[in-house]
Amino acid sequence: MIRFPFLKKSRFRGPLTRRGERIGIPRGMMFYHFFPLWSSFWENLGWQVEVSPFTTRETVEAGKGLTGTDLCLPVKAFLGHVLCLKDRVDALFLPRLISFEEGAYLCPKILGLNDIIRNLIPDLPPLLEPPVNYKGPPKVSLESSFLSLSETVGLPRGRLAEAFRQARVHWEKEQAGVYRTHGIPQKLIPEDLTQALDRVGPGTARFHLGIIGRPYLLFDPILSQQLLKRLTFRSCALTCIHGISAAERERQEEKLAKKVYWSLGRDLVASSLSFSQKKDIDGIISISSFACGQDAFTSYLVDHYARQHSDKPFLSLVLDEHTSPVGLQSRLEAFFDLLGRPH
């Protein structure tokens, strides 16, 4: 059995949570990637899953009020989601995501997210925080991560293994669904946004845009300043980074002089290469968060590859909580002027 030095032994004296209780999952960060797996796992075992409501300006303000530092907008919003959930649930599920695929890490702010939460938010319910670390040491796969919860929830590992197996099947189906809906996780975004996206079909779209952005920024309407909805109002069909198949992204990655070291950063750069070569993509928009350490590197590569391989109109947006909706609208109008010109 894998032991984790930062989990003190005394925390294993009995289950931290029991079947039937409420497990809280904040709607932010890697939620957009892992939620179907996480929720299905807990529900298969008999827990109730409670997700924090969609982000509001108050959620962001609450998170921002805790930090006063230069943390990026998605992390500030995530803190707001934890605040919103913490008194409504029996435990919070916050896996320590270090590396979820071979050869790549997540951002240091995601690696340290649980410590940030512990330090900034008092009176937390028990945190269930199994690590996931494909790079190691020690190496911990997704499955081992879930199995390590056996003592914490007071259930045998065999029962957890079966719940994980079923959850993974469900997750894979959901991921295939996201690919089919052009990289947009329709079940995880507000209904009005899904309806707006559905209104632009192949016959009605004026332009087809490739959208490059981290899911937790792009699919949160408050953090992205309603970017996707603004684009559908202009009759644009959209394809986001996970609307490109994993095989195609890997093919594009092979062309890079040096592999990108971060999981989502890889997807952003590979998507830029792919969109720039697709004949049916009329223009490309890249969205990133101010104070994002990773995007200080990856935005340059995204921009470089988008411009090097095509003359498609390209717009790069850097957002934070101070971004003016009027300024954003002006940038979009200038971009649409370019799109309308022959190129």
Size of the site for ligand SF4 (CB under 6 A): 12
Rounded to whole angstroms, the maximal C-alpha distance in the chain is: 69
Question: Residues 59 to 78: which contact ligand SF4 by CB under 6 A?
Answer: 72, 74-75
Which residue stretch of 160-168, 174-182, 237-245, 285-293 sits at the interface with ligand SF4 (rule: CB under 6 A)?
Answer: 285-293
Which residue stretch of 106-114, 201-209, 279-287, 309-317 sits at the interface with ligand SF4 (rule: CB under 6 A)?
Answer: 106-114
Coarse DSSP helix, strand, coil percentages of the chain, rounded to the nearest 5 percent: 50, 15, 35
DSSP states of 23-76: EEE-SSTTHHHHHHHHHHHHHHHT-EEEEPPPP-HHHHHHHHHHH-S---HHHH
295, 301, 305, 313: residue in contact with ligand SF4 (rule CB under 6 A): 295
* Pick 135 or 157: Cβ nearer ligand SF4: 135
27, 182, 208, 214: residue in contact with ligand SF4 (rule CB under 6 A): 214
Regarding 33 and contact with ligand SF4 (CB under 6 A), the answer is no
* Pick 75 or 284: Cβ nearer ligand SF4: 75
Regarding 213 and contact with ligand SF4 (CB under 6 A), the answer is no
Strand partners, 104: 101
* Pick 237 or 268: Cβ nearer ligand SF4: 268
Q: Residue 83: enclosing H or E segment and its boundaries?
A: helix 73-85
Regarding 82 and contact with ligand SF4 (CB under 6 A), the answer is no
> 238-262: string of b/e by CB count within 10 Å (b at 16+)?
bbbbbbbeeeebeebbeeeeeebeb
DSSP states of 251-278: HHHHTSSS--SBHHHHHHHHHHHHHHH-
* Pick 270 or 339: Cβ nearer ligand SF4: 270
37, 193, 260, 292: residue in contact with ligand SF4 (rule CB under 6 A): 292
53, 293, 325, 327: residue in contact with ligand SF4 (rule CB under 6 A): 293
Residues that bind ligand SF4 (CB under 6 A): 72, 74-75, 107, 109-110, 214, 289, 292-295
